[in-house]
Amino acid sequence: MFNLVVFIDLKKAFDTVNHDILLKKLEFYGIKGQALDLLKSYLSNRHQKCQVESFVSSEHLIKCGVPQGSILGPLLFLLYINDLPECLKNTRPRLFADDTNLTASSHSKADIEIAVNSDLENLRNWLMANKLSLNVAKTEFMLTGSPQMIRNASNSQPNILIENKQIQQVNKSRTLGTTIDQHLS
């Protein structure tokens, strides 16, 4: 059995949440009336400025994103991406804040390649519809299994693509503070 994991890297995930889309999703999940108005107020009319040494920039209106460093920020982001799994037909997603992994298993490397590439195209379309971006250069995949299975599979590696760009294959990856290798050791 071949197992493949794609480690998805979103560009500035918390900073690019579209407020209008988020509010529509919150309403879909049943948040209405005063509660929705409160969240709309929480997201609206926010400003930021930056200080580097003694220089302070002028204030700028924040038009998208969820406040970071708050309790609500990660929760609002999770509600924003909560429907992402619905776009996937062949892989299993694992979502934790902005860390997303897609996994697929098959007895055939060709089948796993087709399944993953199909769902990566579905993911690309979902990201575009939700105004999020994938960092292709930091997105990677790993074939996992026993040392013997990995050795036998090394003669032809899967061709995993998104946006017509090859995703880098790795033999270890760091996710949620833990390094995982291709043998899961």
160: domain CATH number is: 3.30.70
Tokens at residue 165, please? 């760009």
Instruction: Count up the domains in the chain and report the number.
Output: 2
HSE-CB for 108 with a 13 A CA cutoff: 5
pLDDT digits (tens, 9 = 90+) for 127-156: 999 999 888 888 999 888 777 777 776 667
pLDDT digits (tens, 9 = 90+) for 104-126: 998 888 898 999 999 999 999 99
d(CA 183, CA 143): 9
- Residues 94, 140: one domain? yes
Coil, strand or helix: which one is 131? coil
Residues in contact with 117: Cβ distance below 8 Å, sequence separation at least 6, in sequence order: 159, 160, 161
What is the 3-state composition of the chain as percent helix, strand, coil, each rounded to the nearest 5?
A: 35, 30, 35
- Residues 93, 174: one domain? yes
d(CA 159, CA 167): 8
- Residues 88, 6: one domain? yes
- Residues 38, 90: one domain? no
Consecutive H or E run containing 33: helix 33-43
Tokens at residue 71, please? 């309790």
pTM, two decimal places? 0.85
Domain finish residue from 77, 100, 118: 77
- Domain range for residue 47? 19-77
Phi, psi of 16 (to 5 degrees): -115, 10
- Residues 97, 7: one domain? yes
Domain finish residue from 47, 77, 107: 77
How confident is the model over 59-80, as a mean pLDDT? Answer: 88
Q: What is the DSSP letter of 84?
A: G
d(CA 83, CA 104): 19
Look over the chain and give the mean of its residue pLDDT values, rounded to a whole number.
Answer: 88
Q: What's the pLDDT at 154?
A: 66
- Residues 8, 97: one domain? yes
- Residues 65, 138: one domain? no
d(CA 98, CA 73): 11
- Residues 140, 60: one domain? no
- Whether pLDDT at 87 is above 90: yes
- Whether pLDDT at 21 is above 80: yes
Q: What is the DSSP letter of 171?
A: S
